Amino acid sequence: MTEPETEKLANLLTGFFLAKQTGGCSPNTIAEYKKDFARWCNGRDPDTLTATNLKAFLAHLRAEPNGRGGTLSAKSVNNCWAALRSFYRWLPEEHRCPNPMAAVRAPKASEPVIEPLSREQVASMLKACDGTREASTKGRTAFSP
């Protein structure tokens, strides 16, 4: 990417992050978007990307090392897809550019299995409640310690 294209992309991303901030996104969400865009922006021009390019990028993410001996989770790849989708929905407001993300379906992310508590764990929690009593403090609302 040439210097003017790099500057154009930086300006577009700055505008996008400002739009997200003023739209009520949390600082954590914006930080995650920035991390996702750091992966994506490496030499890319948003004007020339196609749905095929974006699909190839997301496929690449599935094989990207996570730094702990594995690869990125399906949830991380799905979060990156959501960041790109959000960017390409916002982009026509600021810059004439097609939305290639319209043709890119969300990657499948499995739901984590939530193990129910055992009878012993429930009994232990209920037993822990046996020794509590309501605190009586003057001038404050009563509570159980």
Q: Give the list of residues 6+ apart from residue 97 with CB closer than 8 angstroms, or none.
A: 46, 47, 88, 91
For residues 74-103, average pLDDT: 84
3-116: CATH number: 1.10.150.130
For residues 28-46, average pLDDT: 79
**Which of 12-16, 109-113, 125-129 comes out lowest in average pLDDT?**
109-113
- Rounded CA-CA distance 78/95 in Å is 25
Query: pLDDT at residue 144 above 60?
Result: no
The burial class, CB within 10 Å (0-12 / 13-18 / 19+), for 15 is: middle
The pLDDT tens digits for 50-79 are 888 888 888 888 887 777 777 878 888 888
pLDDT for 77 equals 85
Average pLDDT, the chain: 80
Number of CB atoms found within 10 A of residue 31's CB? 12
Predicted confidence band at 133 (pLDDT cuts at 50, 70, 90)? Answer: low
pLDDT for 121 equals 93
Structure tokens that stand for 33 in this block: 């978007």
